[in-house]
Chains A and B, each alone.
Chain A
């Protein structure tokens, strides 16, 4: 929970005879994150399994094609187990079904095509149906050049622009969003330009049916008669196809399942390293799933060799897939973490931490019992997925609920309920929970907020040290700006301020000045050279001493400013707590104005309700943004690098884990 799941790099040596059974176990368990290990094999080129995967893929498409012809949905119903010998049989079975269906489906397709042609011809004619001339006759005109055609709607105005210098007439005979029909008439002497223009505007000339003669109206009538006859034939063929679907349905689904599983297996095996009599399989398995997987593998293959190497968090194991393992309640916070970055394998997964600090900071800025409970109720409603239109926001629900509840807790501490600031502090029961009113203790509130910030930043720096220790990254531990030297610098600066302003502070200020100098030197000024020294890189200083000194000066300046600004950023927590009370005060001022100074009546209460809703919406947005900002910018940047690889296990349909 505090770290990504511990992973084992697993290497399997699988006898060829057990290959399929082992792959089946790997795929059906859904816990094995496969690595391409073809490079370990003796064949580096395309192997038979790739060919098999391609064959399966082609077969799958053929089955899908038949399903489509028979109007059957593409679904996977688990059928018989995997058997490698089935592939040829499956091909024969598919061919047999195809042959059975082919005659009817070809006839159906031909009739459909014929129907489409006829309907297309009819559509072409309909716009000009009321023209009592033979449109075709224009094509043989001596002086007039005419083109009738379909054009993309978006190209019509461009076509007109391109013909602006050529005398012409353009009629849009049919205003269709997708396929409008246009008719262009121009002088035959300009036919070259017209041809170039219509061609480049993607106008597809209409070929008027030659079989039919007469005016467009007469031709259209003949086509309609033919369309009716074709439709009757199609209807008869549809019935035939339904019968065929009923006959072949179960076999098709069985084939689809088998071919699909075959394909996935073949694709997986194609990425194994193939030796003479064995296969090398490499991948990652979470430690918790390793014993059961190992047992299952040994059950299906007595001679399998399994080597599992627990992956240490030391170093920078960037190729290890990262599987986060948090309880369902923490998923919204995991989402928040993943939005920033996926943790690396060696890093702390900050989900648990953020599940505490995010609602805490939010609640401190949104302290009101009523508002908090409102938010929590909305959050619960979202996560319960009771409102269909808001189901997409379900993942936000948990986050809102937690934030709302913390808002309510701080509401009790600040004595605020639905903007009423005096109700709770004066109630004998709730009085015992009352702490202080932020608006009346502004300096104290802001000071506590800064203190909270110092604590969070210090936790961030300490977590960075912890991450560095786990990764055995000693250069980072000692000399990173957020490492031990950085922590000493930060705490020394705080100590210096404390010793100056707090009378009788036990440690004299010169001690802090010395520590600041040492910390600044180690974490900024000499950080890079020291890191290079520890890691063995040369030269220690790049780009010359002069540039280095100038760069160091500005880095030091930046470091001090950023430490100050990072800390002061947390003032906003107190500031928003104060602002909340200010907003509440404003609500009652407006309510008083609405009631004409009587502080009662419909106007007064309507304004109180509207004001509360306004405060919840406005503050809710702003506070959530500020909370996110404080975490992403100030907190995460101290210890969280991110960039981990997602864990994507091999999972056949119906795999147990997923």
Chain B
């Protein structure tokens, strides 16, 4: 216990202080009251995101730029937490942070595919850069060089020595044959979650308990949605669904994934795993509209798991992990708000997808 206390006392204090700076459900509701994007931007400047938004000049105030600045705060939180995390658990947090790098890698590859259908290369980097998570120097991706390389194959060649090399070396054969990014993206996803789960498995004691709980819950959400989407949207075969999913998680077990792959009724499986989610049957009646709602509910469950990490002993990795996941969910909420306000979307269309305010229910 004393090891946990000594290792986590400082980070626990700091993370709790940072946690206090997260927006409250009321804050998010108040932000959603903004009449348009510019008033939302004004309100955001009065929050903890203010210092990041202040650096935008008037001419730069655009939704995409605002979102990037907001993500900078998340990046700063990750850097701060990684710096303070004990050596034993730091690889797990770093791997979790790598999720954003994975997103960047996918965006770069998608950008390269887009250019091959006729857009000019000079503007491609500017366009891709706008959607990249601001990792600064904390990335192994030579992003600009990859884009300038002009093709997916050349770009992947530049990833030599990175954690992505091995997964891509296998998947590139399929890309060459199919000219489709799907196998690359699936391989990258599976490889990332395997590494993350493996890091969580290396922890001991309370770290292991909370690491498995938070990371496992994140994994559950992704794994379950993959299995459902592969079956419902992509109509993949049983063998393919099994190979494109993972056999571990916190609540979702391999038997559940295999049952979905084998063609079992999905709604009862989801209801058994998550009895607290209501109206699951309704969601599957109209999957196009229902699956986003299911994903939203799974995020809500994830948020509850994160909140529970703050109860009880504070000397474990659960608190930093939960804080980072909560921060990410908050950024997702703000992204929804910014995009909704900038496109003048009616309130009733986007409000059901704001996570934070559901804590008030």
Q: Which residues of A contact B (CB under 8 A)?
A: 36, 39, 46, 54, 57-58, 61, 150-152, 154-155, 157-159, 161-163, 165, 178, 193, 196-197, 199-202, 204, 318-319, 339-340, 344, 618, 621-622, 624-625, 628-629, 632-633, 643-645
Contact = CB atoms under 8 A, between A and B. Distances in A.
A638 B133 CA distance: 34
Nearest to A321: B55
Given A161-B242, A622-B9, 10 more contacts: A39-B59, A152-B191, A162-B243, A165-B238, A178-B166, A197-B240, A204-B170, A621-B5, A622-B5, A633-B13
A202 B59 CA distance: 48
Contacts of A618: 2
Contacts of B229: none
Interface residues of B, number: 44
B17 interface: yes
B167 interface: yes
A243 B353 CA distance: 65
B54 A162 contact: no
Interface in B58-111: 59, 80, 83-84
Given A158-B247, A318-B55, A200 B240 contact: yes
Contact of B166 (A152, A163, A196, A645): A152
A625 B9 contact: yes
Please provide the 3 A-B residue pairs with the shortest distance between their CB atoms, ordered closest to farther: A643-B51, A625-B9, A200-B243
A152 B13 contact: no
B240 A196 contact: yes
A61 to B, nearest CB: 7
A319 B242 contact: no
Interface string B1-34: 0100110011001100100000000000000000
Contact of A158 (B59, B173, B236, B242): B242
A177 to B, nearest CB: 10
Contact of A339 (B14, B148, B166): B14
A625 B183 CA distance: 48
A193 B13 contact: no
Contacts of A163: 239
Contacts of A629: 13
B171 A202 contact: yes
B14 A193 contact: no
B243 A625 contact: no
Interface of B: 2, 5-6, 9-10, 13-14, 17, 50-51, 54-55, 57, 59, 80, 83-84, 122, 144-145, 148, 166-167, 170-171, 173-174, 183, 187, 190-191, 194, 236-240, 242-244, 246-247, 254, 258
A559 B174 CA distance: 64
Contacts of B10: 624-625, 628
B86 to A, nearest CB: 12
B360 to A, nearest CB: 15
A196 B14 contact: no
A200 B239 contact: yes
Contacts, number: 99
Contacts of A632: 13-14, 17
Contacts of A201: 243
A628 B13 contact: yes
Contacts of A154: 190-191, 194
B239 A204 contact: no
A621 B243 contact: no
A318 B170 contact: no
B5 A197 contact: no
Nearest to B144: A57
Nearest to B149: A61
Nearest to A643: B51
11 contacts: A46-B122, A57-B144, A152-B166, A152-B191, A154-B191, A161-B258, A162-B242, A178-B166, A625-B5, A633-B13, A644-B51
Nearest to A161: B242
A584 to B, nearest CB: 19
A319 B54 contact: yes
Contacts of A39: 57, 59
Contacts of A645: 51, 55
A644 B50 CA distance: 11
A200 B50 CA distance: 46
Contacts of B247: 157-158, 161
B170 A202 contact: yes
A36 B56 CA distance: 11
A621 B237 CA distance: 56
A622 B167 CA distance: 45
Given A201-B243, A628-B10, A193 B237 contact: yes
A193 B2 CA distance: 55
A61 B6 contact: no
Nearest to B148: A58
Contacts of B167: 152
A613 to B, nearest CB: 14
Contact of B173 (A204, A339, A621, A644): A204
Contacts of A339: 14, 80, 83-84
Nearest to A61: B145
A151 B83 CA distance: 36
Contacts of B50: 318, 643
Contacts of A202: 170-171, 174, 183, 187
A318 B54 contact: yes
Contacts of B191: 152, 154
Contacts of A633: 13, 17
Name which of B51, B171, B243 has the most chain A CB atoms within 10 A of its CB. B243
Nearest to B240: A200
B12 to A, nearest CB: 9
Nearest to A543: B30
Contacts of A152: 166-167, 170, 191
Contacts of B236: 200
Nearest to A316: B54
A340 B17 CA distance: 9
A133 to B, nearest CB: 27
Contact of A197 (B55, B80, B239): B239
Nearest to A641: B51
A633 B16 CA distance: 10
